[in-house]
Amino acid sequence: MAALGLRRAMAPLLTVIGLAGLFALLVVGHRMTVATGQDIPLVFHHRAHGGYNCVTCHHDFLKPVMTPATHRTCIACHRETPELVPIIRDQFHELCEGCHLNLQQQGRQAGPVHECRDCHVRRPDMQAHGRLL
Amino acid sequence: MFLTLPLFAAYSVFLLCFWPQGVMHLSIGWDVSMLCGFSALFLLLTLFALTGRPLPEPFFDGRFFLTLHRWLAWLFVGFVTLHAGGIIWLDPQTLYDLWPSGTPGMQFGAAAALLAVVTPCLALQRVRRGLYATAAMFRRSHALLAMAVLGASVFHVVATRVHVAVWWQVWMCIGVALVACMLPVGERWMLARMPMRRDGRRRRLHTAYLARRLAGVMLCAVVSETVVFVLWRH
């Protein structure tokens, strides 16, 4: 009877173990690679944002930095701060998408929302961290 | 065929609740792909309601419910394929999210898609007989896999925040998923306590063909409603 009970419990048990393994692999894999993983190539049209307050993005304009601003990108800078690394994607999506969505809801002309290819352009000459145009 | 009307109404409510009021300025391709994803989620929820166990109404044999569950499952897999395939075709950049460093929402979506294919494949008669010694073992394992698919799908919908972004939509989505998970057990519990009203009737036999027709009607309903919805929103 005990053997039969064990046999009956085996399939659900193996299923639970398999599912837990799959989801654990996803979470652990993400945590281990999020700091070093490849970013999706990104293009930011700086000129198109000329009409907006610079401080919206350049929040650190008072901080002294070693590298001139023209040689830095937003994402590369955020990557240097360990506590910001896991939330880089959420932060930047929130900043760009959130602003574009707000403008759209006000009935004003706005940049792309949600559609990846409008911001994440695949260009071989471009570094993964993004480039200002 | 009276099951069609409630399902049709439920799908309309589902679309209106989980689709934003404001215009998203998305291309038609994106909207269609997203709606395929929502249709897939709706069909997945339907699978929790129509589990393959006979219900008091319609008073048909078990084969009707089993065939209906099977066909709805394949429709669900088809819509998942259209959703994922459409987005990858429109925006190949989404493939970056399949790397471990990609966004958790997309990775759980990929896991849900993988499990969505594996689960019905494990339920195929030949595989099922080879893998599971008893029907109870299969049922428990299948239920666990189905709940994992639903959980990962809801996480994908909520975490990607493409359409379900407002707090009440998020809680409603989670609530619907929780109710769906409890539905098969609740259904059995209720049916066991409900007095059977047979009125001298006998279950109608050989009704599998009706299930195939119903699945076909549901496919037409979902597709036509999706087309109308996209045209209305554009």
pLDDT tens-place string over residues B175-196: 999 999 999 989 888 888 877 7
Alpha-carbon distance of A6 to A13, in angstroms, equals 10
Task: Give the residue from chain B lying closest to A88, CA to CA.
Answer: B103
Res. B28 pLDDT band, cuts 50 70 90: confident
Instruction: Please determine, for residue B74, whether its predicted confidence score (pLDDT) is greater than 90.
Output: yes
Q: What is the ipTM of this complex?
A: 0.82
pLDDT in tens, B94-117: 888 888 888 889 999 999 999 999
pTM over 0.90, yes/no: no
Residue-level length of chain A: 133
| A19 and A77 both lie in a single domain | no
Is B27 in contact with A115 (Cβ distance < 8 A)? Answer: yes
Q: Are residues A26 and A65 in the same domain?
A: no
The pLDDT of B27-37, averaged and rounded, is 87
**Stretch B71-98: mean pLDDT:** 92
Same domain, yes or no, for A117 and A60?
Answer: yes
Contact across the interface for B107 and A30, Cβ inside 8 Å: yes
Domain ranges (residues) in chain B = 25-191+203-233
CA A49 to chain centre: 21
Q: Report the residue of chain A nearest B89, measured CA to CA.
A: A117
Digit-coded pLDDT (tens) for A51-74: 888 888 888 777 766 655 555 677
What percent of chain B clears pLDDT 90, i.e. is strictly above it? 44
Contact between A73 and A132 under an 8 Å Cβ cutoff? The reply is yes
- Mean pLDDT value of segment B14-29: 71
pLDDT for residue B22: 53
Count of structural domains within chain A: 2
Kindly tell me if the per-residue pLDDT of B233 is higher than 90.
no
User: Considering only residues 72 to 91 of chain A, which have any Cβ-Cβ distance to chain B shorter than 8 Å?
Assistant: 89
At residue A124, the pLDDT reads 53
Are A48 and A3 members of one domain?
no
Instruction: Kindly identify which residue of chain A lies nearest to residue B128, measuring between CA atoms.
Output: A11
| The pLDDT value given to residue B119 | 96
pLDDT, mean over chain B: 87
Q: Do residues A93 and A46 share a domain? A: yes
Name the more confident of B202 and B120. B120
Q: Answer yes or no: do A15 and A58 share one domain.
A: no
Contact present, B91 and A115 (Cβ < 8 Å) = yes
Q: What is the pLDDT of residue A34?
A: 78
Contacts of A19 (CB under 8 A, 6+ apart): B115, B144, B145, B148
CB A26 to CB B111 under 8 A? yes
Contact B30 A114 (CB under 8 A): yes
Q: How many angstroms away from the CA of B22 is the closest CA of chain A?
A: 7
DSSP chain A: -HHHHHHHHHHHHHHHHHHHHHHHHHHHHHHHHTTTSPPPP-EE-TGGGTTS-GGGT-TTTTS--SS-GGG--HHHHHHTSTTTGGGHHHHHHHHHHHHHHHHHHTT------S-HHHHS---TTS-TT-EE-
**What band does A132 get if pLDDT is binned at 50, 70 and 90?**
very low
**Calpha distance B120→B200 (Å, rounded):** 37
Residue B181's pLDDT is 94
* B-chain residues near A37 (CB < 8 A): 99-102
Which structural domain range is residue A91 located in?
Answer: 38-132
Cβ contact, residue pair B22, A105, below 8 Å: yes
The CATH number of residue A42's host domain is 3.90.10
> Is B21's Cβ below 8 Å from some Cβ in A?
no
Give residue A128's pLDDT band: very low, low, confident or very high (50, 70, 90).
very low
Please indicate whether, in this complex, the C-beta atoms of A104 and B22 are within 8 angstroms of each other: yes
φ/ψ of residue B204, rounded to 5: -75, 130
User: Are A46 and A99 within one domain?
Assistant: yes
